[in-house]
Amino acid sequence: MDYIHLNDLQFYGYHGALPEETKLGQIFQVTITLACDLKKAGETDDLDATVNYAEVFELCKEIVEGKPYLLIEAVAERIATRILEEYASKVSGCRIQLVKPNPPIAGHYASVAVDITRGTI
């Protein structure tokens, strides 16, 4: 199995269960791993033989910067679902890590995150 990684994408969104999160918004970081066969793309140097990661970036941006969700689990699920729908012929599975670097929680921590895997990876 081969993989495409999109690491630490950053977007500004309004997701969260607390009122200040949906009013003020915050930065979200997303890392995406796509499981796919890259052999033909490597042999032919043909963009149509692989997954265009610029398109995946835009898909992710649309979701994170779009409709607010209460849970980051829901945001990650939407990203995974859309990737698997739109790239069904090329992607057998995906892993989405969604990080909320600065949630409004009292205390000391680096971040909170969810990490989901859908399909075969």
Which ranges constitute the DSSP H helices of the chain?
A: 19-24, 39-44, 53-64, 72-86
User: Which residue type is seen at 40?
Assistant: K
Collapsing DSSP states into helix, strand and coil, what is residue 63? helix
The CATH T-level fold of domain 2-119 is: GTP Cyclohydrolase I, domain 2 (3.30.1130)
CA 7 to chain centre: 9
pTM of the predicted model as reported, rounded to 2 decimal places: 0.95
List, for residues 58-82, the tens digit of each pLDDT value.
Answer: 999 999 999 999 999 999 999 999 9
Q: What is the pLDDT of residues 22-50, one digit of tens each?
A: 999 999 999 999 999 999 999 999 999 99
Task: Specify whether 39 is catalytic.
Answer: no
Catalytic residue, chosen from 23, 40, 90, 100, is 100
